[in-house]
Structure 1
Amino acid sequence: MKRDEIISKIDDFLVEEFEVEQSEISETANLKETLDLDSLDYVDLVVAVESSFGIKLVAEDFANTHTFEDFYSLIDSKLKQ
């Protein structure tokens, strides 16, 4: 899957599930603040990503995931493993 396809799929999901405006999503925006994520929201996010992309995420994966770019890169790297 190409990176732009990954980004599009993630963004579409985030707009739908987290009711965030597409215009609020940018590569440099803070993921947690933009989506107003709490611990339960992270669980929902992980489950959705795992089922959509067929990958496994663990808590440590989010240690250095602050921006949407970080998140896209995380998913991209997991898909390449």
Structure 2
Amino acid sequence: TQARGSVLIHQKMFESRLFFTDKLIDMGAQIILCDPHRATVIGLDKQSPLRATTMTSPDIRAGVSLLIAALSAEGTSTIHNINQI
């Protein structure tokens, strides 16, 4: 959400692998969950900066996504269960 444009993410191997996006939405990300396999991320070119929050890393893929979001967010974020990363 920090760049202009949009992208459709299609995860067809495992259902509900995109469940962690609720934390990104809490941070201010513009994400539309189309179904358990697809999500659309809408970039607003930093018009709406991400906000810091406290979250838990459920697995390595989600944890890295949360870490990148935390690094670009305004303020200090806390990620629990960091050993997943």
Q: Same fold (TM over 0.5)?
A: no
* Higher RCO (C-alpha 8 Å, min separation 6): 1
TM-score, normalised by the number of residues in structure 1: 0.30
TM-score, normalised by the number of residues in structure 2: 0.30
Q: Considering only CA atoms, is the larger Rg found in Structure 1 or Structure 2?
A: 2
Q: Which has the higher strand share?
A: 2
